[in-house]
Amino acid sequence: RVAVVGAGVSGLAATKCCLDEGLEPTCFEQSQDIGGLWRYTEHIEAGRPSLYPSVISNTSKEMSAFSDFPFPEHFPAFLPNALLLDYLRRYTEHFGLREHIRFGSTVVSIRKRPDFATTGQWDVVTEAGGKQTSHVFDAVMVCSGSFSEPSLPLQCFPGIERFRGQHFHSRQYKHPDVFQGKRVLVVGMGNSGVDIAVEASRVAAKVTISTTRGAWLLSRVSEHGYPWDMILNTRLMTLIKTKLPAPLSWWLINYKVNQWFNHENYGLQPENSWLVREPLVNDELPSYILTGRITIRPGVKEFKDSSVLFHNCPEEEPIDVVVFGTGYTISFPFLEESIIRVENKHASLYKYVFPPRLQKPTLAVLGVIKPFGAIMPVAEMQARWVSRVFKGLCQLPPQAVMEKEVNEKKKNQIQWFGLTFDEVLKTEWLGYLDTLASFIGAKPSVLGLLCTDPWLALTIFFGPCSPYQYRLGGPGRWQGARQAILTQWDRVLKPTRTRVPAGSSSSLLSLLTVVGFLLLLAAVVFGFL
């Protein structure tokens, strides 16, 4: 029996993967519906993520799908939050998950049972309708997410206590009308902060973004109009990033992200451009900077009564509203601190999943990670691995080995990604998926496929690393995986090719050219390897 905490993306995937392995999941959801982060509510609910109505996914549908359940072909490439919630509903109904979810049930506490050292069992206390109930579970999957508790370090902003204007965390934002005619300052260069700044600039008198570090910016629309992640998150690109000498790899990344526009000219160039930082995804910010609707400034030095002073800027800038896009704090209020150690706003977990110090590996955390790609396939892969660990089909390394890796990962990511409040949650997307897939025997073999199914092998290596690749073999093999991979571009283009110009013909020559190029490149790459 497995307790699943939360019915968002991770919780739904966890429930489904438990069922796949013959386990008995019970999913506890404190609200009255599924969806977690992606279910919009007009009012902010305690303990739940808060979404503003204009949110659109930053990753494309083909790269964000659960690995055995593609998005409908008529859905757009990037999903408004309502359509993504619709997809989650379809997933829930298709796999019969709703009957395993207890709505309106809040998890109050999760404690080891007295005989935990031998049984690995947990006492789980839930509350529903004002009544508490105690349960015994053999294992627990924590899927409560990391976007519920805002991080608002006001002590880091001198003078904020005497600022007479309005200030709030980005979690509280819903609609831009609060900025009508105001002078707005957005502190922080995250995706939410930039989204809010863009929306505010349509009605505000002036909008300024304050950033200490800067950031790389990507557009959803990449080369030839295709989604950015289908172009960048490929096995070939990952091979280039990881196998080339570091200086050359960094130069290529700098060159790639500056092809759209020169970040230095727009005040966005990261402070240490050789560090690989999490890119932002926004289609409008450069245009809004170019037209003067948004101004980029350095970090805040001090707040005054009705103005702000920036570092290296002698003049004060008058402001009326401050939005703090300062991220979130990870917390597990229902767990004892001894179970998961949270330091500097991050949890120490083996492979971002298992607490390394437990005597029995019967508790796991899903979805508390910031990959450079879609979170849904990552959460699903974590759930597939965890459910097999719970069943005894996969073994974890000794405790000392896990703790050593957690500590080394912490140091390496500070070196790779730079010092940020959530640096140890960030990881390379494809490498992480492959690692977990190898644990359960679901990692695709490109070289093996090259002998048996060369067209599929080339598509997998040179094309986007869509999640269906992890259903070609191993446990949970899906018969439709190959077809889903070979038709992924069709599903991307279906909602946009709504008008066919007269005289348009099939591009057979272009197709032959592409095939020839891929074969040539394959020979070079595999010969090199």
Q: Which amino acid, 283? A: D
Asked which of 215-229, 263-277, 308-322, 473-487 is least confident by mean pLDDT, the reply is: 263-277
Whether residue 79 has pLDDT greater than 90: yes
Task: Specify the higher pLDDT residue, 147 or 464.
Answer: 464
Tell me what pLDDT residue 8 has: 96
Average pLDDT over residues 86-111: 97
Average pLDDT over residues 500-507: 65
Helix, strand or coil for residue 38?
helix
The length of the chain is 529
Largest CA distance in the chain: 76
pLDDT grade for 511, boundaries at 50, 70 and 90: low
Phi-psi region of 183 (alpha: psi -120 to 50; beta: other; left: phi over 0): beta
Whether residue 346 has pLDDT greater than 90: no
Task: Specify the higher pLDDT residue, 161 or 146.
Answer: 161
Tell me what pLDDT residue 506 has: 46
Residue located via tokens 């960094």: 250
Average pLDDT over residues 250-259: 84
Whether residue 213 has pLDDT greater than 80: yes
Tell me what pLDDT residue 272 has: 67
Tokens representing residue 363 in the block? 């508790």
Sign of torsion over alpha carbons 463, 428, 272, 196 = positive
Beta bridge partners of 426: 370
Phi-psi region of 334 (alpha: psi -120 to 50; beta: other; left: phi over 0): alpha
The tens digit of pLDDT for each residue in 386-396 reads 999 999 999 99
Percent of the chain with pLDDT over 90: 75
Directed axis angle between helix 235-243 and helix 246-257, to 10°?
130
pLDDT grade for 345, boundaries at 50, 70 and 90: low
What is the residue-wise DSSP string for 428-482? -HHHHHHHHHHHHT----HHHHHHH-HHHHHHHHHSB--GGGGGSSSTT--TTHH
Whether residue 507 has pLDDT greater than 50: no
pTM (two decimals): 0.91
Alpha-carbon span 192 to 347, nearest angstrom: 23
Report DSSP state, residue 37. Answer: G
Whether residue 418 has pLDDT greater than 70: no
Alpha-carbon span 437 to 6, nearest angstrom: 24
Tokens representing residue 326 in the block? 């300062």
Average pLDDT over residues 186-207: 96
Task: Specify the higher pLDDT residue, 447 or 421.
Answer: 447
The angle formed by the CA atoms of residues 279, 416 and 13, to the nearest 5 degrees, is: 60
Task: Specify the higher pLDDT residue, 514 or 455.
Answer: 455
Average pLDDT over residues 285-302: 97
Please report the domains of the chain, with CATH numbers, ordered by start residue: 2-148+329-414 (3.50.50.60), 152-219+272-326 (3.50.50.60)
With beta carbons less than 8 A apart as the criterion, state whether 373 and 229 touch: yes
Whether residue 133 has pLDDT greater than 70: yes
Whether residue 416 has pLDDT greater than 50: no
Residue located via tokens 């089909």: 393
Q: Which amino acid, 347? A: A
Alpha-carbon span 427 to 411, nearest angstrom: 13
> Which helix H or strand E contains 527, and what residues bound it?
helix 508-528
The tens digit of pLDDT for each residue in 10-52 reads 999 999 999 999 999 999 999 999 999 999 999 988 878 899 9
End-to-end CA distance of the chain: 46
Express the helix, strand and coil content of the chain in percent, nearest 5 each.
Answer: 40, 20, 40
Count Cβ neighbours within 10 Å for each residue of 233-248 and write b for 16 or more, e otherwise.
Answer: bbbebbeebeeeeeee
Cβ of 121: how many Cβ atoms within 10 Å? 19
The tens digit of pLDDT for each residue in 150-160 reads 889 999 999 99
Whether residue 77 has pLDDT greater than 60: yes
Tell me what pLDDT residue 39 has: 94
The tens digit of pLDDT for each residue in 367-388 reads 998 888 999 999 999 999 999 9
Beta bridge partners of 66: 69
Chain-centroid distance of CA 418 in Å reads 18
Helices (H), 207-357: 228-232, 235-243, 246-257, 285-290
What's the mean pLDDT when you consider all of the chain? Answer: 90
Average pLDDT over residues 124-135: 96
pLDDT grade for 126, boundaries at 50, 70 and 90: very high
Residue 340 has φ and ψ, to the nearest 5°, of -125, 120
Whether residue 482 has pLDDT greater than 80: yes
Tokens representing residue 261 in the block? 């526009």
